[in-house]
Amino acid sequence: MSKLYIAFLSLIASTLIISSCTSNQESIPDVYIDPVAALYDASLKPFYHGVASGDPLPDRVIIWTRVTPEKMMSSIPVEWEIAETPQFTSIYKSDTLSAKADHDYTVKIDVDGLQPDHVYYYRFKALNGTSIVGRTKTTPIDSRDSLQFAVVSCSNWEWGYFNAYENMSKRPVLDAVLHLGDYIYEYAVGRYGDTTIGRFNLPEHEIVTLQDYRTRYSQYRTDIGSRKVHQQHPFITIWDDHEVANNSYVEGAQNHQPEEGDYEARKKAAKQAYYEWLPIRESKELYREVSFGPLADLFMLDERLAGRTKPVDSLNDPNYHAVDRSMLGQEQLTWFENGLSSSRATWKLIGNQVIFSDIDLSQVLPRMPRNLDSWDGYPAEKNFIKEHIVNNRIRDVLFLTGDTHASWAFEVATDVANTYNPTTSQGAFAIEFGTPSISAANSNERNPTEEVKKSEIKLMETNPHIKYTNNRDHGYMILTLTPAQAQADWYYVETLRKQGSSEQLAKSFSVARGTTKLNEVN
């Protein structure tokens, strides 16, 4: 164990706080250790985690904060205000509620009565302190000349600073940040990360209990980039696997072992912490549709916990093509297909955790010719969706994908060798754009960069429907929609190893409405 880490743990231990129990607080422990206190910026007290907003609709939006008390309390009065100017010269709406210990002192308000396609500012007051001012935006009802989204995934504390988030925060208000999963990672210290930069997971063990998950979210939300991006833009989020455990599905996960207890209890704890710490509207299912007026409909899919069956171990598994193996589950699949069919929006956006397009990996990973954790591992259901899109002549479908820690641009096709023409794009039925990781490891964190570049070239040669891939750089994607085209721009940060980084626009592709042909934009 390094001296730096020992010093870090000593600093955490020094945050022991003892409170006196009163008769009406018997369920509140009299000793409280806040393991994240060493990371707090004292100037933000008691709103160390900033503010956030999410799940915008035409007339409402979720606003969020967390109040951190100096001693354990059963509840804390919190005042919130929302206004049309950052100076709050005229308060549009306000009220008071309680931050409660049984919700980890997080508060969420579903503010209604708002105007569509409108920017608002909000703040909170509690314990003689005032939060930073947040900025948010409702969705449009009427036609827009353009929409702009940031698309992100895979932020890992130990792999580096969330500089891509900080750069995104400097942009004019976006219509939404689409977070496609792996908001946190569940691993113990040093199991998946680069601790030489001095960032160590809290708690130090793999997270399993409700308090473990709460602590990990609290830690992640102290990152300056995370705090700033949530302050400036509304988020629409979906979980992937690491919000519970690696390669999770309904009944288990690759990274859940019997000695870690009951999986259902772990999953319940993970879901509760997710709902507490993210600005999301709670409902029976996490998958949902959001309309952005005539220009776009967004379908956020849940490809982990709603209906995913256990993945097979190899392509030789006799159940590989079985029709009852599912990524979405029948209820969600029916909802999704009905939504695509009924959508009258120009662009149909699909918030998609794992790659939908076929990828032949045999030339770069001979022992894993297909990624069985992606849609390639569920060929029957993938084909159902393809047939639904093709048979119903549903145009202008854009899959927006996270998970892989790489950038992608696909002309979506199956049976590439026999039915797809890479010159004309005939045989393609949709477009897929993949966003890089915010900080989780790329291939060149563990392999020489030149080798990674060669594997990218070989992968594109083997898969001609892949028009772009980059498995070396971290950052985010900006998606801009107009009535005539959709354009994806990939922005990469220079470094993760220190706080703050410049960025560069590295690649851009567009697709014209009514086509499935990608065009590089110079």
Quick check: is 317 in a domain?
yes
Quick check: is 14 in a domain?
yes
The residue among 122, 142, 162 that closes a domain is 142
Question: How does pLDDT run across 372-430, given as a tens digit for each residue?
Answer: 999 999 999 999 999 999 999 999 999 999 999 999 999 999 889 889 999 999 999 99
CA distances from 24 to 28, 86, 359 (A): 9, 39, 59
Average pLDDT, the chain: 93
In single-letter form, the type of residue at position 253 comes to: A
Q: Residue 32: pLDDT band by 50, 70, 90 thresholds? A: low
The residue among 120, 142, 164 that closes a domain is 142
Number of structural domains found in the chain: 2
Residue 17 has pLDDT above 50, yes or no: no
Quick check: is 174 in a domain?
no
Q: What is the mean pLDDT of residues 112-121?
A: 98
Nearest to 87 by CA among 48, 46, 121, 136: 121
Query: Do both 137 and 269 map to the same domain?
Result: no
Query: Do both 297 and 414 map to the same domain?
Result: yes
Residue 3 has pLDDT above 60, yes or no: no
Residue 10 has pLDDT above 70, yes or no: no
Question: How does pLDDT run across 420-451, given as a tens digit for each residue?
Answer: 999 999 999 999 999 999 999 999 998 999 99
CA 391 to CA 379: how far, in whole Å? Answer: 18
pLDDT of 321 reads 97
Query: Do both 125 and 214 map to the same domain?
Result: no
pLDDT of 417 reads 87
Nearest to 155 by CA among 145, 146, 165, 147: 165
Residue 489 has pLDDT above 90, yes or no: yes
Quick check: is 380 in a domain?
yes
Query: Do both 382 and 505 map to the same domain?
Result: yes
Q: Which two tokens stand for residue 130?
A: 């005032």
Query: Do both 119 and 252 map to the same domain?
Result: no
Q: Residue 520: pLDDT band by 50, 70, 90 thresholds? A: very high
pLDDT of 21 reads 32
Quick check: is 326 in a domain?
yes
pLDDT of 446 reads 86
Tell me, what CATH number does 339's domain have? Answer: 3.60.21.70
Query: Do both 424 and 341 map to the same domain?
Result: yes
User: Can you give the pTM of this predicted structure?
Assistant: 0.94
pLDDT of 29 reads 53
Any alpha helices (H) in 81-148, and if so which ranges? Answer: none
pLDDT of 414 reads 84
Q: Cβ–Cβ contacts within 10 Å for residue 175, how many?
A: 28
Q: Which helix (H) or strand (E) holds 320?
A: none
Query: Do both 333 and 441 map to the same domain?
Result: yes
Query: Do both 267 and 407 map to the same domain?
Result: yes
Q: Cβ–Cβ contacts within 10 Å for residue 299, how many?
A: 21
Tell me, what CATH number does 47's domain have? Answer: 2.60.40.380
**Hey, is 430 helix, strand or coil?**
strand
Residue 22 has pLDDT above 60, yes or no: no
Residue 289 has pLDDT above 70, yes or no: yes
Residue 88 has pLDDT above 60, yes or no: yes
Q: Using DSSP, how many helices (H) and how many strands (E) does the chain show?
A: 9, 26
pLDDT of 28 reads 52
pLDDT of 209 reads 98
Quick check: is 201 in a domain?
no
Query: Do both 463 and 332 map to the same domain?
Result: yes
Domain that holds residue 226: 210-520
Q: Which two tokens stand for residue 227?
A: 């705090």
Nearest 5°: the CA angle 427, 478, 132 is: 150
pLDDT of 7 reads 36
pLDDT of 132 reads 98
Quick check: is 464 in a domain?
yes
Per the model's pLDDT, the better-predicted residue between 27 and 232 turns out to be 232
pLDDT of 384 reads 97
Query: Do both 320 and 403 map to the same domain?
Result: yes
Query: Do both 287 and 377 map to the same domain?
Result: yes
Query: How far is CA 74 from its chain centroid?
Result: 31
139, 156 Cβ separation under 8 angstroms:
no
pLDDT of 510 reads 98
Query: Do both 335 and 429 map to the same domain?
Result: yes
- 74-79: list long-range contacts, CB under 8 Å, 24+ apart: 74/24, 74/25, 74/27, 74/28, 74/100, 74/101, 75/99, 75/100, 75/101, 76/100, 76/105, 76/126, 76/127, 77/126, 78/107, 78/124, 78/125, 78/126, 79/124, 79/125, 79/126
The residue among 142, 175, 198 that closes a domain is 142
Quick check: is 160 in a domain?
no
Residue 157 has pLDDT above 60, yes or no: yes
> Which residue(s) pair with 262 in the sheet?
none
Residue 30 has pLDDT above 80, yes or no: no
